[in-house]
Amino acid sequence: MSRDHVVGDMTARDFSATYADTYLKFKSRDDDGYYPAKVLDVCVSDDEWAVCVEKLNGDKVLLDLKDPSIEVDYRWPTLGFINVEDHAVFIRRRAHRQWKKGLRDLLLDVKIMDDRIINELREAGAEYGSLFGKVHYDELYYPQYTKVEEAIEQVVSGEKIARCISPKFAITSRYNIENPVLMYKDSIVGVVNNYGRIEIPGMLGHLIPMLERVVPNGYNSISLQP
């Protein structure tokens, strides 16, 4: 969707009503590439208006969207798994009666892998900040996935609680389960055996083609169980 199509016929009130408290991506002459920022307010002066946005680092910027050097990306990021600190979260869009445009905090449904383990570590003295918050939105827009061998090694060793290997798959420890498991979205679909292979029940064989696209060596890394 182009900038002119969205902004050209919109008034300041229209833009504020549609995109206030929304995260969009902006690009201006002073920045390298697009950056996500939250629309805070629309400032009006003499029939001209500009948008005040807050970057993820807290910096506030005033942008004239009619300036041809400024570009806006209104699309949602691709949701799914992202790596956060030494764990991972699965994010989906929350059902909402009013289908709002733009990414808003209240429209995100976040599931943490595995918060019970994190709570036990906290009780043992480990320090954890926010498990997911505004500071992690950059990973939401620009996710970085872990290679499956590294993910298994890090989780098995206890270095990480969880690592995602794609938007739909993650390797994670689970409370009261001895071996790490393979998650597909928010469901357990496999187990990492003692040899580092991923074992998947035969009834879930339809997941193999998707998994093979992110797991190297195909059936050398995946075992389909009877």
Which pLDDT tens digit goes with each residue over 145-155?
Answer: 999 999 999 99
Cα–Cα dist 113/21, whole Å: 28
d(CA 3, CA 68): 9
Domains of the chain: 3-73 (2.30.30), 80-225 (no CATH)
pLDDT band at 75 (very low <50, low <70, confident <90, very high): confident
Q: What are phi and psi of 17, to 5 degrees?
A: -65, -35
Residues written for the chain: 226
User: How many other CB atoms are found less than 10 A from the CB of residue 194?
Assistant: 8
Planar angle of CA 132, 156, 141, nearest 5 degrees: 30
Structure tokens at 27: 């690009």
Ramachandran angles phi, psi of 166, nearest 5°: -170, 175
**CA dihedral of 96, 101, 104, 108, whole degrees rounded to 10:** 50
> Which tokens belong to 88?
């991972």
**Hey, which residues does 223 pair with through a beta bridge?**
199
pLDDT band at 2 (very low <50, low <70, confident <90, very high): very low
Structure tokens at 172: 């994670």
Read off the pLDDT of residues 37-67 as tens digits, 9 standing for 90 and up: 999 989 888 778 899 999 999 999 999 888 8
Confidence of residue 5 (pLDDT cuts 50, 70, 90): very low
The gap between the terminal CA atoms of the chain, to the nearest Å, is 48
172 DSSP β-pair partners: 162, 181
Name the 3-class secondary structure at 23.
strand
Residue with tokens 């969207």: 65
Among all chains, which residue has been given the structure tokens 């041809």? 68
Q: How far apart are CA 64 and CA 170, in angstroms?
A: 41
